[in-house]
Amino acid sequence: MKSNKQRRHEIKQRRWARMEAQREAALRPAMPHGALAADVQRLELIHGAPFWLPGYYVDISYRCCDCGAACVWTAQDQKWWYEQVQGSLYASASRCKDCRARHRAWRQSHCDAAEMAALRALWRARPDASARARVHAALQSKAPDLRSLAAQALAWWWVQFGDKPAHAQLEALSLERSWAPRIDRILRRQVELRPGVHRVCRVVAYPRVTMGAALSGH
Ligand SMILES: [Zn+2]
């Protein structure tokens, strides 16, 4: 037989537990059933501190922009793209597998690997007239990859050597959506240029709330 005091104590305990559970549920955004949790710390390391990071991944349906086929960008593929490939947060799947292969072949046929390597090599040294001419030519190129590498050369010249012509040229460019974030990161010195490594990012530490932060218990 329980005393009144004991009973009151138990009721209080249960009420506490219920309130705790409610409080925790309110703090934690619901992750949909079957979703794949994102490694938010890794994402922060890769992408610096953008205003948004995915907290989890769910399968996304889309139509191929070339042939119109119905496709699914799976949660696993998204995780691989954002966390392993370190792909842009602004990019999403737009082509089916076959069209992607065709598109890549087209890009490669229009883009010369030797020229790409040559442009990357220009990043490290103070620009001379021939380097400037090469970058200028690449900026006029039809290949987006070459235009991107040329713009990155300008950003690196400004960041490393305070090269004013490069800065002026960069300001006059209309930055393309696919590479504007990368240029921005270089200019804000969130990326380090090391031999042979093009994607080394520093973590920029300022507080920010992400959906995943609550999920991973921070
Ligand atoms: Zn397609």
Say how many Å lie between the CA of residue 215 and the centre of ligand 1: 35
- The rounded Å distance from CA 62 to ligand 1 centre is 11
Domain boundaries, position 140: 111-187
| Structural domain includes residue 60 | no
Domain count, the chain: 1
Find out whether 172 and 102 touch, Cβ atoms under 8 Å.
no
In a domain, 162, yes or no: yes
Residue 63 belongs to a domain: no
**Distance from the CA of 68 to the center of ligand 1, in angstroms?**
6
Across residues 207-217, what is the average pLDDT? 39
Q: What is the 90 CA–ligand 1 centroid distance (Å)? A: 21
Distance between CA atoms of residues 52 and 15, nearest Å: 36
Ligand 1 centroid to 100 CA: how many Å?
7
Instruction: Give a yes or no: residue 72 inside a domain.
Output: no
Q: Are 119 and 134 in contact (CB under 8 A)?
A: yes
Structural domain includes residue 150: yes
Nearest to 92 by CA among 68, 109, 75, 110: 75
* 72 phi and psi angles, rounded to 5 deg: -125, 130
CA of 40 to the centre of ligand 1 (A): 31
Residue spans of beta strands (DSSP E) within the chain = 36-37, 56-57, 60-63, 70-73, 191-194, 197-201
Domain-embedded: residue 115: yes
| Cα of 192 from ligand 1 centre, angstroms | 37
Q: Is residue 44 in a domain?
A: no
C-alpha of residue 162 to centroid of ligand 1, in Å: 45
What is the Cα–Cα distance from 179 to 164, expressed in whole angstroms? Answer: 21
Q: How many CA atoms lie within 13 A of 44 on its CB side?
A: 16
Q: Model's pTM, two decimal places? A: 0.48
Q: Which amino acid is at 144?
A: P
**Rounded distance from Cα 22 to ligand 1 centre (Å):** 46
When pLDDT is averaged across residues 141-167 and rounded to a whole number, the result is 92
pLDDT tens column, 91-117: 888 899 999 988 888 777 766 778 888
* Within a domain: 151: yes
Q: What average pLDDT does the structure give for the chain?
A: 81
